[in-house]
Amino acid sequence: MNITLSVEDRLLERAREVARRQGVSLNQLVRHYLETVAGEVSGEVAAETLLHLMEEHGGHSGGHRIPREAAYEGRV
């Protein structure tokens, strides 16, 4: 199904930049967002997203240790 959206030029350019950095088309980016909002993200899509985040951000603490209590602070 095709849809038409109206967005400001600046928002569209920022979204295109996000898509470019993620190596996907704007269409794929919007589709993924809608799947996420609707709760229909497949395990494969979730895994790809996590891998991308790990590659982009590395997840290295720089030697900073986080105490267990701090990691779980505020959780029930």
Q: How far is CA 32 from CA 2, 19, 62, 66, in A?
A: 15, 11, 32, 32
Report if pTM > 0.85: no
What confidence tens digit (pLDDT) does each residue in 19-75 have? 998 888 999 989 888 888 887 777 777 788 778 777 777 666 677 777 888 878 877
DSSP 42: -
Distance, in Å, from the CA atom of 47 to the CA atom of 27, rounded to the nearest integer, reads: 19
Q: Determine the pLDDT at residue 76.
A: 62
* Helix 43-57 vs helix 26-37: crossing angle, to nearest 10: 120
CA dist., res. 51 & res. 31, Å (int): 19
